[in-house]
Amino acid sequence: RKAHLDALAGLFGRAFFNDPLYEYVFPDATTRLMLAAWDLGKIVEYGLRFGEVYATSMLSGCAVWLPPGETDFTEERMAEVGMLDSATHIGAEPEARMMRFVTESEEFHRRVAPSPHWYLVLLGVDPPRQKQGIGSELIAPVLEKADKGKFPVYLETASPDNLHFYHRFGFEVCAEAALSAGGVYIWYMVRKPG
Q: Quote the CA–CA distance of 81 and 46 in Å, as a whole number.
A: 6
- The pLDDT of residue 6 is above 90: no
- The pLDDT of residue 57 is above 90: no
- The pLDDT of residue 89 is above 90: no
pLDDT given at position 125: 95
pLDDT given at position 183: 72
pLDDT given at position 84: 84
- The pLDDT of residue 181 is above 80: no
User: Each residue of 125-162: pLDDT tens digit?
Assistant: 999 888 889 999 999 999 999 999 999 999 999 999 99
pLDDT given at position 87: 81
- Lowest-confidence region among 45-54, 83-92, 149-158: 83-92
pLDDT given at position 188: 97
DSSP state of 190: E
| ∠ Cα 142 64 61 (to 5°) | 95
Q: What are phi and psi of 150, to 5 degrees?
A: 60, 40
Q: Nearest Cα to 59, choosing from 124, 142, 113?
A: 124
Instruction: State the DSSP string of 100-153.
Output: HHHHHHHHHHHHH--SS-EEEEEEEE-GGGTTSSHHHHHHHHHHHHHHHHT--E
| Residues β-bridged to residue 177 | 186
DSSP state of 177: E
Q: How far is CA 119 from CA 16, 48, 74, 132, 152, in A?
A: 18, 14, 14, 23, 9
pLDDT given at position 132: 87
Q: What is the mean pLDDT of the chain?
A: 92
- Supply the pTM of this predicted model: 0.94
